[in-house]
Chain A
Amino acid sequence: MADASYPPELLYHPEHDWVRIDSADPGVAVFGITWFAQDALGEVVFFDPPEVGTTVTKDEPYAEVESVKAVSDVIAPLSGEILEVNAALADAPEAINDDPYGEGWLVKVKLSDEGETAALLDQPSYTASLA
């Protein structure tokens, strides 16, 4: 597994999710789980994604990640509609461990309220919460 890292350009949710706002469209974001989350889970063996077109609600579970040790709900960091899920995770869920901010992304979401981002943490605040 990669070393601990928390990219400064991302936004974070206290339940160990990250959000990457689309540079071309601030109404679209990609979600994933942080290095801390994947490390706590251990080797991920299955990602159970939501269906495209379903809506997710900030602070509510929207998917499950299963590791060799446990099943965990993934909490939506923002509200919106699922535009795309990372289909590659069906065959290679370990990407969530190996590259949590890159190939291990989970879903792309059309945000319903861009203002919700104000409640997310920036990188220094999130990493401080882990200490």
Chain B
Amino acid sequence: MTAAPETTLSRTPLYDCHVAAAAKLVPFAGWEMPVQYAGVKEEHLAVRSEAGVFDVSHMGEIETSGPDATAFLQRLVSNDVEQVPVGGAQYALLLRRDGGILDDLFSYRLEPSRWLTVTNAANHAKDLAWFQRQAEEFDGDVTVTDRADDFAMLAVQGPLAREIVGAISGGPLPVRFAVAERRVSGSDALICGTGYTGEDGVELLLAPADAPRVWDELVRRGATPAGLVARDTLRLEVCFHLYGNDLSEERGPIEAGLGWACKEDTGFIGADAVRAVREAGPAQRLVAFTLESGIARQGNPIEGGGEVTSGTMSPSLGVGIGMGYVSADRAAEGTTLEIDVRGRTRTATVRAKPLYRRPDRTETHG
């Protein structure tokens, strides 16, 4: 199958809002996305201390429905979806038979036999094709529907996020890893207690036409518009994986530290490969690190084998941070790593994940 070369970038329903907010817009996964507004550090710290709102409408959605939808999803994704109650959400991986990671995704159980799965923008077409092909081969009654064009997605994150969304929501907000249908500022929305920043907050799935008005209302009530760069620095501080950086088809869940999201006994596609690696132990492991000085970036080699998969300057910690794969015997906390940053050796130390913890959690979970 050949597709015509893509010459135009997609725009989210919030494009005009971004232009009005003086966003810097750049091409990202086929979309024209806001990378920053007032400034990355400012946006980042606003999310840590108050609240920020992100346009993540580029992310895709796949609906799985029909009498055997749950059994089908159980076969497709790595976690145990049978355990998810109606109104619940669960993180899982989509794997090839050999255990290579096709995508990492959240699935929301809307009804006993109806699920909505959120995909990464760059992977949506690939994931959809995979879902459809597996559905054809599946012995059961399941319907796979592309819902990517039906939703805009806003992430409202930060200590004040629930207060801001709660004030315009008809009914209580769902707790963490739960989903609920609510009216938000007069529009129907699916509110999900999920996020990608390490802060409390929610994600809103809305009809595209309703999104600009809800965005404006959230901003008016104090949510700081935040772009994709801040989203990346926020997620890296709490060591959430980014597909295309820390996860790929060449990497498996165990080496990525995602064994907790794999329940091999469910018999998902790739379960045998995951089980074999879990039993034998992976050759490499994804570790988090801080640098003594400077910044390491994706692709920088790590001495002794391995490479940096994500790296940035942490706005919260004020040091260079990152994640990368190293040989399993060098993955212990406190291990010194030598990273080749454009020809200069920089010293890093393997740290416990997450690298950043919310102050109110330090005492109870630190």
Q: Which residues of A contact B (CB under 8 A)?
A: 1, 42-43, 45-46, 48, 64, 66, 68-69, 71, 90-91, 94
Contact B229 A68 (CB under 8 A): yes
User: Which chain B residue lies CB-closest to A97?
Assistant: B39
**B194-222 vs A, Cβ < 8 Å mask (1 yes, 0 no):** 00000000000000000000000000000
* Residue from the list A42, A46, A90, A94 in contact with B320, Cβ < 8 A: A46
Chain B positions within 8 Å of A1 at CB level: 39
Contact A46 B294 (CB under 8 A): yes
Q: How many residue pairs between the two chains, A and B, have CB atoms under 8 Å in the bound complex?
A: 30
The smallest C-beta distance from A45 to any residue of chain B, in angstroms, reads 4
Chain A positions within 8 Å of B36 at CB level: 42, 68
Contact A68 B294 (CB under 8 A): no
Contact B40 A71 (CB under 8 A): no
User: Which chain B residue lies CB-closest to A73?
Assistant: B342
Does B312 sit within 8 A of A, measured CB to CB?
Answer: yes
Chain A positions within 8 Å of B342 at CB level: 64, 71
Q: How far is the CA of A66 from the CA of B342 in the complex (A)?
A: 12
Q: How far is the CA of A25 from the CA of B36 in the complex (A)?
A: 43
Chain A positions within 8 Å of B293 at CB level: 90
Chain B positions within 8 Å of A91 at CB level: 318
Chain B positions within 8 Å of A64 at CB level: 342
Contact residue range for chain B?
10 to 19
Contact B40 A68 (CB under 8 A): yes
Given contacts A45-B313, A66-B313, A71-B342, 15 further A-B contacts (CB under 8 A): A1-B39, A42-B40, A43-B39, A43-B41, A45-B312, A46-B313, A46-B320, A48-B294, A64-B342, A66-B295, A68-B36, A68-B40, A68-B229, A68-B233, A68-B312
**B30-59 vs A, Cβ < 8 Å mask (1 yes, 0 no):** 000000100111000000000000000000
The smallest C-beta distance from A64 to any residue of chain B, in angstroms, reads 8
Q: How far is the CA of A95 from the CA of B225 in the complex (A)?
A: 24
Q: Which B1-56 residues have C-beta < 8 A from chain A?
A: 36, 39-41
Q: Which B321-365 residues have C-beta < 8 A from chain A?
A: 342
The smallest C-beta distance from B291 to any residue of chain A, in angstroms, reads 10
A-B contact pairs, 20 of them (CB 8 A): A1-B39, A42-B40, A43-B39, A43-B40, A43-B41, A45-B312, A45-B313, A46-B320, A48-B294, A66-B294, A66-B295, A68-B36, A68-B40, A68-B313, A69-B229, A71-B297, A71-B342, A90-B293, A91-B318, A94-B41
User: Which chain A residue lies CB-closest to B232?
Assistant: A68
Chain B positions within 8 Å of A66 at CB level: 294-295, 313
The smallest C-beta distance from B320 to any residue of chain A, in angstroms, reads 7
Q: How far is the CA of A90 from the CA of B320 in the complex (A)?
A: 12
Contact A46 B39 (CB under 8 A): no
User: Which chain A residue lies CB-closest to B233?
Assistant: A68
**8 nearest A-B pairs in the assembled complex, by CB-CB distance:** A45-B313, A68-B40, A46-B295, A43-B40, A66-B295, A68-B229, A43-B39, A46-B313
Chain B positions within 8 Å of A42 at CB level: 36, 40
Contact A45 B39 (CB under 8 A): no
Q: How far is the CA of A42 from the CA of B227 in the complex (A)?
A: 14
User: Which chain A residue lies CB-closest to B297?
Assistant: A71
Chain A positions within 8 Å of B312 at CB level: 45, 68
Q: How far is the CA of A45 from the CA of B317 in the complex (A)?
A: 12
Chain B positions within 8 Å of A69 at CB level: 229
Q: How far is the CA of A42 from the CA of B37 in the complex (A)?
A: 11
The smallest C-beta distance from A102 to any residue of chain B, in angstroms, reads 19
Chain B positions within 8 Å of A94 at CB level: 41
The smallest C-beta distance from A33 to any residue of chain B, in angstroms, reads 18
Q: How far is the CA of A48 from the CA of B342 in the complex (A)?
A: 12
Q: Which B285-312 residues have C-beta < 8 A from chain A?
A: 293-295, 297, 312
The smallest C-beta distance from B49 to any residue of chain A, in angstroms, reads 18
Chain B positions within 8 Å of A90 at CB level: 293
The smallest C-beta distance from B356 to any residue of chain A, in angstroms, reads 16
User: Which chain A residue lies CB-closest to B26?
Assistant: A69
Q: How far is the CA of A48 from the CA of B296 in the complex (A)?
A: 13
Chain A positions within 8 Å of B39 at CB level: 1, 43
Q: How far is the CA of A1 from the CA of B39 in the complex (A)?
A: 9
Chain B positions within 8 Å of A46 at CB level: 294-295, 313, 320
The smallest C-beta distance from A53 to any residue of chain B, in angstroms, reads 18
User: Which chain B residue lies CB-closest to A90?
Assistant: B293
Chain A positions within 8 Å of B294 at CB level: 46, 48, 66
Q: How far is the CA of A64 from the CA of B293 in the complex (A)?
A: 13
